């Protein structure tokens, strides 16, 4: 009976659950709802307290002149405000009716509903998440309040002209680019690198993008521990010298991990800095972190060179330092010349300008001008300590005496080593790219004076002093006796009389530079006798008509440079110069024959007789006996002069060759020896051609086809030797180009194609095969009947997927560059377009009406530069906005 009662009770309970389950659920929801609602009120109150605390920190910072609002903090505050409104409305709707009466009293079913229960749970979760985020935001903001913005060394801030505005814009663009994490600002000493970065740091609209900015001066005497302590102190971390670098690095890392937007500025960097060792992770590992460094050399994701100021900017900065005195009528012309002597170097402009401030006597200005022109180190207060001494650090930082010797002397190494040294000097801002292309260099005037000062001082590191009297307008060479320590003498770019007198005694001098003396017609017989140890004699671009017989006494001579001696008619016998390594007669137009004894120069390594129109004959057997010859330039010479290709084949050490090739003799010769050449420029022409071409660089393999009809010509075998640059100049039947190269043959090494002075029509033919798939540079000059580059591509079998640069000039019928949607593909690597004097050009890209394979948009998404000049009909760049990067 007891068992029956128990079973009956259990059955009743289960039956009750089935009938009353809904009621049980509502009771449970009601209990949880009231509990969660109370929790929501409490958590929301905590969030509001946290919000008010953050706002208080922001207000306090604002009173101190700092701006702490960053995008992450602004977003969090907006989320808190929105959630506060939502929670308030929810609580009100859950507890009162329209009359303000409590709903649980009059309508308890509303509180029993499951829907409000789920809603309160979700909002409670949202509030807790914002509390977690807000705690981190408050910690960061509090640290920023204590930290403040970076204090930088006092100095000039430049909205003025100390640094070109384009450099400022370049740095800003790089810092705003998500793909760039390391930005290097480099340039020669005194050019304004630190001033530029200081200006950025003092620009609120820029700095506010970062939660913290750390500025550390590294300097030439790089002390890792000092730099680490500077970073730690900037972050308000207590440090002691007894603490290990590893321990400090861990604490710096922990502190930096609180930052989402960090800018680390390392100023005056001379060598590689191991950031991990300091406790700073690499910027690339953290989106939003940037490293900005200033240096005299370059190695970063984005390198921005700070160039010297132009004339207008230089004058503005000079007037700021010199004051109103420069506006005086008698002072201004001389003052502008003084400013010009500063070479656009802001540091030098500041010092010279300040030294002349308030000086109203024109004689003082003229004296300053003479001093700057005459002496490598002008007698102006502060010049040595503030200009030349800092600049000399760049020289001292060069690795080894070899490269320092290259800087002070002239290039005497082999080509590859020489290029490496020159590039090192360029990266250290001691040399700059020349005005005539990448294969030339120039030296800034101030750096040139630095070189003269270093080489003339008793502290010259290689022990070789120099005696320099260049560009002074001397009419006679000075009558002095140089000490034995003098190894180099320079009288270049003066105005010596036709027959200068000199009583020089220079027994140990190895280098004599006389180039650029246009009035120098004859070198006195006794003059060279003073230089018995001479190894390098440079008479380039002088007015010399004949070399003295005393030259034959210089048996140690290694280099004889007669480049551009347009009046020189003959050379003395050179058979006794067994140590001669370099003979340069480039553009010595009047030389009719090579000197006697030429075949005896067994150590000659470089011979340049290019552009020697009068040299019509080279005696048979002469070239083949120059067994050490590595470099030979015979290009653009007399058309009657025949080169014996068999003699060139005998020169086993020859690695660089620049000659004209007679098309009529190519088929009969043997040219396997070309394969061992590392650099060459072959000019293929008909012997009847009288046109000379512009010279190119000595660092590539080039072929120029000059004034030829391409029909029936075969020179594809020549391009098989990894030719990188091909030029057609004033040729005919260019549509035969694929046949001349050999159909279905691919020339993957070819990177550059130039077509110049082509008068023929482009027939509607198709090459049917891509012969040049890796073209990077396309130049078109005076191609008369070309209407589009797409037309050229189909005719010649060109592929543009790797194309980087397009240069088009004086193509009078060109209407557009590319027809998009036809055979042209997306120009994903194109970065530069230069167009000049194309009178019919209407737009750059024309979209075809149909395409089986639609092109991606934009088609030129890497385009960085567009130069447009004298294009009268150009109305828009493209009819489709999708052509350009957004």
Domain presence at residue 420: yes
The 3-state DSSP class for residue 206 equals helix
Mean pLDDT over all residues of the chain?
Answer: 74
pLDDT 10s digits, 583-625: 999 999 999 888 899 999 999 999 999 999 888 888 888 899 9
Window from 26-35, 176-185, 264-273, 599-608 with minimum mean pLDDT: 26-35
Is 723 a residue whose pLDDT tops 70? yes
User: Domain check: are 191 and 298 in the same one?
Assistant: yes
Residues forming beta bridges with residue 522, ordered by sequence position: 546
Residue ranges of the alpha helices (H) in 64-113?
71-95, 103-106, 108-112
The predicted pLDDT at position 502 comes to 59
Domain presence at residue 774: no
The predicted pLDDT at position 607 comes to 94
Residue that finishes a domain, picked among 342, 374, 406: 374
pTM confidence score = 0.58
> Is-contact 463 486, C-beta < 8 A?
no
Domain presence at residue 677: no
User: Domain check: are 207 and 134 in the same one?
Assistant: no
User: Domain check: are 220 and 115 in the same one?
Assistant: no
The predicted pLDDT at position 5 comes to 43
With pLDDT > 70 as the criterion, what percentage of the chain qualifies? Answer: 66
Residue that finishes a domain, picked among 557, 576, 594: 557
Is 385 a residue whose pLDDT tops 60? no
The predicted pLDDT at position 98 comes to 47
Answer positive or negative: Cα dihedral of 615, 621, 624, 628. negative
The predicted pLDDT at position 12 comes to 43
The predicted pLDDT at position 538 comes to 94
Residue ranges of the alpha helices (H) in 513-656?
645-649
Q: Which DSSP category does 679 fall into?
A: E
User: Domain check: are 211 and 324 in the same one?
Assistant: no
Residue 360, CB-side half-sphere exposure with 13 Å CA sphere:
4
> Is-contact 877 883, C-beta < 8 A?
yes
Is residue 690 classed exposed, middle or buried when 0-12, 13-18 and 19+ CB atoms within 10 A define those classes? exposed
Beta carbons within 8 Å of 198's beta carbon, 6+ residues apart:
152, 153, 155, 156, 157, 158
Which structural domain range is residue 511 located in?
Answer: 464-557
CA distance 735 to 716: 15
Domain presence at residue 805: no
User: Domain check: are 295 and 319 in the same one?
Assistant: no
> Is-contact 709 685, C-beta < 8 A?
no
The predicted pLDDT at position 161 comes to 44
Max avg pLDDT among 64-78, 364-378, 574-588, 708-722: 574-588
Domain presence at residue 544: yes
Is 836 a residue whose pLDDT tops 90? yes
Is 698 a residue whose pLDDT tops 70? no
pLDDT 10s digits, 458-480: 544 445 577 887 777 788 777 66
Window from 11-25, 346-360, 528-542 with minimum mean pLDDT: 11-25
Domain presence at residue 572: no
CA distance 283 to 174: 14
User: Domain check: are 240 and 325 in the same one?
Assistant: no
User: Domain check: are 301 and 169 in the same one?
Assistant: yes
Confidence label for 306 from pLDDT (cuts 50, 70 and 90) = low
CA distance 309 to 340: 10
CA distance 557 to 512: 11
CATH number at residue 351: 1.10.8
Domain presence at residue 672: no
Confidence label for 246 from pLDDT (cuts 50, 70 and 90) = confident
3-state helix, strand, coil in the chain (%, to 5): 40, 15, 45
The predicted pLDDT at position 713 comes to 76
Is residue 72 classed exposed, middle or buried when 0-12, 13-18 and 19+ CB atoms within 10 A define those classes? middle
User: Domain check: are 417 and 507 in the same one?
Assistant: no
Q: Prior bond to 858 cis, omega within 30?
A: yes
User: Domain check: are 180 and 125 in the same one?
Assistant: no
The predicted pLDDT at position 637 comes to 79
Specify the higher pLDDT residue, 555 or 177: 555
pLDDT 10s digits, 113-141: 456 667 778 888 888 888 877 776 666 66
Residue 554, CB-side half-sphere exposure with 13 Å CA sphere:
31
- Token pair, residue 760, equals 């023929």
Max avg pLDDT among 79-88, 401-410, 506-515: 506-515
Domain presence at residue 720: no
The predicted pLDDT at position 150 comes to 45
CA distance 287 to 283: 7
Is 51 a residue whose pLDDT tops 50? yes
- Token pair, residue 709, equals 């009809």
CA distance 800 to 827: 7
User: Domain check: are 197 and 297 in the same one?
Assistant: yes
User: Domain check: are 346 and 396 in the same one?
Assistant: no
Confidence label for 674 from pLDDT (cuts 50, 70 and 90) = confident
The predicted pLDDT at position 667 comes to 58
Average pLDDT of 28-41? 68
Residue that finishes a domain, picked among 116, 147, 178: 147
User: Domain check: are 503 and 541 in the same one?
Assistant: yes
Domain count, the chain: 5
């Amino acid at each position: 009976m007891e068992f029956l009662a128990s079973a009956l009770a259990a059955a009743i309970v289960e039956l009750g659950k089935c009938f009353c389950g809904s009621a049980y659920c509502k009771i449970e929801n009601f209990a949880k709802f009231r509990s969660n609602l109370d929790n929501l009120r409490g958590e929301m109150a905590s969030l509001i307290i946290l919000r008010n605390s953050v706002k208080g920190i922001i207000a306090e910072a604002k009173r101190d002149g700092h701006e702490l609002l960053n995008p992450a903090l602004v977003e969090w505050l907006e989320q808190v405000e929105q959630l506060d409104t939502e929670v308030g409305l929810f609580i009100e709707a859950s507890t009162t009716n329209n009359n303000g009466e409590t709903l649980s009293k009059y309508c308890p079913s509303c509180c029993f509903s499951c829907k409000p229960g789920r809603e309160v749970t979700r909002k409670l979760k949202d509030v807790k998440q914002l509390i977690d985020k807000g705690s981190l935001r408050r910690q960061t903001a509090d640290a920023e309040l204590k930290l403040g913005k970076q204090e930088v060394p006092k100095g000039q801030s430049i909205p003025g002209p100390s640094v070109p505005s384009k450099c400022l814009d370049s740095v800003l663009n790089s810092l705003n680019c998500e793909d760039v994490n390391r930005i290097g600002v480099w340039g020669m000493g005194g050019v304004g690198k630190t001033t530029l970065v200081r200006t950025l740091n003092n620009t609120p609209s820029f700095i506010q993008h970062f939660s913290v900015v750390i500025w550390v001066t590294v300097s030439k005497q790089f002390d890792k521990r000092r730099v680490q302590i500077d970073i730690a102190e900037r972050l308000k971390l207590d440090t002691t010298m007894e603490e290990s670098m590893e321990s400090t690095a861990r604490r710096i890392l922990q502190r930096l991990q609180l930052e989402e937007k960090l800018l680390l500025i390392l100023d005056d960097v001379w060598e590689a800095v191991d950031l991990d060792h300091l406790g700073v992770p690499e910027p690339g590992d953290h989106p939003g972190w940037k490293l900005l460094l200033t240096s005299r050399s370059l190695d970063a994701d984005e390198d921005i060179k700070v160039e010297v100021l132009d004339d207008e900017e230089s004058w503005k900065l000079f007037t700021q330092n010199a004051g109103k005195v420069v506006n005086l009528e008698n002072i201004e012309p001389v003052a502008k010349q003084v400013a010009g002597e500063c070479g656009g170097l802001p540091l030098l402009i500041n010092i010279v300008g300040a030294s002349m401030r308030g000086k109203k006597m024109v004689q003082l200005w003229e004296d300053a001008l003479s001093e700057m022109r005459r002496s490598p180190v002008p007698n102006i207060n502060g010049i040595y300590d503030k200009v030349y001494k800092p600049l000399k650090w760049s020289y001292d930082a060069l690795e080894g005496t070899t490269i320092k010797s290259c800087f002070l002397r002239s290039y005497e190494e082999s080509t590859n080593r020489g290029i490496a040294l020159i590039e090192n000097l360029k990266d250290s801002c001691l040399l700059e790219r020349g005005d005539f292309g990448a294969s030339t260099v120039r030296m800034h005037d101030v750096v040139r004076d630095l070189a003269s000062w270093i080489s003339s001082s008793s502290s010259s590191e290689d022990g070789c002093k120099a005696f320099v009297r260049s560009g002074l307008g001397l009419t006679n060479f000075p009558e002095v006796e140089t000490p034995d320590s003098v190894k180099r003498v320079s009288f270049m770019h003066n105005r010596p009389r036709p027959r200068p007198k000199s009583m020089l005694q220079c027994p140990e001098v190895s280098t004599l530079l006389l180039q650029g003396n246009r009035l120098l017609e004859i070198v006195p017989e006794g003059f060279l006798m003073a230089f018995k140890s001479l190894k390098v004699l440079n008479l380039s671009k002088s007015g010399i008509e004949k070399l003295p017989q005393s030259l034959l006494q210089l048996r140690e001579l290694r280099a004889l440079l007669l480049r551009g001696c347009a009046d020189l008619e003959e050379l003395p016998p050179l058979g006794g110069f067994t140590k001669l390594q370099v003979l340069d007669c480039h553009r010595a137009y009047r030389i009719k024959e090579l000197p006697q004894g030429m075949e005896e120069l067994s150590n000659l390594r470089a011979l340049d007789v290019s552009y020697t129109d009068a040299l019509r004959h080279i005696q048979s057997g002469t070239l083949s006996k120059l067994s050490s010859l590595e470099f030979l330039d015979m290009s653009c010479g007399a058309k009657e002069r025949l080169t014996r290709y068999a003699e060139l084949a005998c020169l086993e050490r020859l690695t660089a060759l620049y000659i004209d090739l007679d098309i009529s003799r190519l088929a009969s010769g043997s040219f396997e020896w070309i394969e061992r050449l590392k650099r060459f420029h072959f000019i293929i022409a008909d012997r009847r051609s009288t046109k000379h071409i512009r010279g190119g660089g000595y660092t590539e393999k080039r072929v120029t086809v000059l004034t030829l009809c391409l029909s029936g010509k075969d020179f594809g075998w020549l391009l098989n030797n990894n030719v990188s640059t091909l030029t057609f100049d004033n040729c005919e039947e260019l549509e035969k180009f694929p046949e001349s190269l050999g159909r279905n043959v691919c020339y993957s090494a070819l990177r550059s194609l130039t077509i110049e002075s082509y008068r023929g029509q482009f027939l509607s033919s198709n090459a049917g095969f891509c012969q040049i798939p890796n073209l990077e540079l396309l130049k078109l000059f005076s191609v008369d009947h070309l209407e589009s580059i797409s037309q050229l591509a189909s005719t010649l079998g060109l592929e543009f997927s790797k194309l980087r640069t397009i240069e088009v000039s004086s193509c009078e019928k060109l209407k557009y560059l590319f027809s998009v949607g036809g055979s042209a593909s997306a120009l994903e690597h194109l970065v530069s377009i230069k167009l000049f004097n194309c009178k019919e050009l209407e737009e750059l890209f024309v979209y075809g009406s149909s395409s089986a394979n639609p092109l991606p948009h934009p088609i030129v998404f890497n385009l960085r530069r567009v130069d447009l000049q004298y294009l009268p009909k150009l109305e828009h760049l493209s009819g489709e906005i999708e052509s350009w990067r957004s």
